[in-house]
A = this chain, B = another copy of it.
């Protein structure tokens, strides 16, 4: 899942961490500490820490402290207890984490996923393809597609008509069917600060492994920071929604109109019926079966079968149906 963020976006301002207290909106900053000076080259998440980067979080384990200090990672938080508890070399304490995130990311990165018309595009078979995309010649791009900057598509893929792919890496032998939207901005924002102007910057990508099949009219949103991930040989039916930061293991089989909320992590060999909904931030194990129309509201262990809403053990659910009749 490694990728070079700069393939997909450009730096707006080359800054080092000592400048953050100048860059951030003054009303947001509480305190600022900068023991080492280093360039901010990228953005870290708690999952993937990168050298010379900035990390926004209101939670932190002690184990992270050394990594942050050694790796030149500037930590931004609104949680004063973290600052007190851990000996962080480089941090900014802020009043509101989400607003600080929007403010700083907008000042450092070009994160907008709209097509950059300063970019050069080819019109090939009526599709609009960025010259900064990399597409293997064995791959077929059908008409009326739009392929954005930085997109990589491997061998022997078929991108069917009227599909949009931005901020995405595709391996080999993948089929993306018609009218899909892959790699657009996720639905992330702060309820106290609504509207298109305040959507949280999404600067991650979508990463799809070999041999995946995506049906028609599906949406897979780019991650906020890292990658929304679809593991190899997974099969998605039509009208499926995969939100930002979802990790879907290999060999998943998901029937139509299912929606998976943000940051859900799913193991390998999921079988899901149609019209299923999975609530945000859940962990679903390997070899899980979810009956059609289920609403999953809790984590699911390996090898479990669930059904109903809220989803429960499949056998219990079937019994409860009979009882309730």
Please pick, from B115, B144, B292, the residue contacting A142 in the complex, using a CB distance under 8 A: B115
A277 at the interface (CB under 8 A from B): yes
In the bound complex, do residue B164 and residue A271 qualify as a contact, i.e. CB atoms below 8 Å apart?
no
Please pick, from B126, B177, B187, the residue contacting A255 in the complex, using a CB distance under 8 A: B187
Q: Which of A174, A177, A187, A255 has the most CB of B within 10 A?
A: A187
In the bound complex, do residue A126 and residue B126 qualify as a contact, i.e. CB atoms below 8 Å apart?
yes
In the bound complex, do residue B196 and residue A238 qualify as a contact, i.e. CB atoms below 8 Å apart?
no
* CB within 8 Å of B: which A286-325 residues: 292-293, 295, 309-310, 312, 316, 320-321, 324-325
In the bound complex, do residue B238 and residue A238 qualify as a contact, i.e. CB atoms below 8 Å apart?
no
The interface residues of chain B lying within 8 Å CB-to-CB of A161 are 115, 128, 146, 164
Q: Whole-angstrom distance between the alpha carbons of A221 and B192 in the complex? A: 28
Q: Whole-angstrom distance between the alpha carbons of A316 and B198 in the complex? A: 35
Known: A114-B142, A128-B143. A253 touches B162 (CB 8 A): no
A151 at the interface (CB under 8 A from B): no
In the bound complex, do residue B146 and residue A194 qualify as a contact, i.e. CB atoms below 8 Å apart?
no
In the bound complex, do residue B325 and residue A235 qualify as a contact, i.e. CB atoms below 8 Å apart?
no
**Which of A23-31, A90-98, A99-107, A178-186 is near enough to bind chain B?**
A178-186
Q: Whole-angstrom distance between the alpha carbons of A179 and B316 in the complex? A: 41
Report the minimal beta-carbon distance from A92 to chain B, rounded to whole angstroms.
Answer: 28
In the bound complex, do residue B235 and residue A213 qualify as a contact, i.e. CB atoms below 8 Å apart?
no
The interface residues of chain B lying within 8 Å CB-to-CB of A234 are 194-195
In the bound complex, do residue A213 and residue B195 qualify as a contact, i.e. CB atoms below 8 Å apart?
yes
Q: Whole-angstrom distance between the alpha carbons of A253 and B190 in the complex? A: 10
A243 at the interface (CB under 8 A from B): yes
In the bound complex, do residue A197 and residue B184 qualify as a contact, i.e. CB atoms below 8 Å apart?
no
* CB within 8 Å of B: which A142-191 residues: 142-146, 158, 160-162, 164, 173-175, 177-181, 184-185, 187, 189, 191
Q: Whole-angstrom distance between the alpha carbons of A164 and B159 in the complex? A: 13
Report the minimal beta-carbon distance from A170 to chain B, rounded to whole angstroms.
Answer: 11
A72 at the interface (CB under 8 A from B): no
Known: A114-B140, A177-B184, A292-B295. A259 touches B275 (CB 8 A): yes
Report the minimal beta-carbon distance from A259 to chain B, rounded to whole angstroms.
Answer: 5
A226 at the interface (CB under 8 A from B): no
Given contact pairs A215-B219, A237-B241, A279-B292, a sample of 18 additional A-B residue pairs in the complex whose CB atoms are under 8 Å apart? A114-B142, A114-B160, A115-B160, A117-B125, A121-B143, A144-B164, A162-B162, A178-B184, A179-B181, A179-B219, A184-B215, A187-B215, A187-B235, A189-B235, A194-B234, A237-B243, A241-B257, A241-B274
In the complex, the 8 A-B pairs of residues with the closest C-beta atoms, listed nearest first: A195-B211, A195-B233, A181-B216, A128-B143, A196-B213, A146-B161, A178-B181, A175-B196
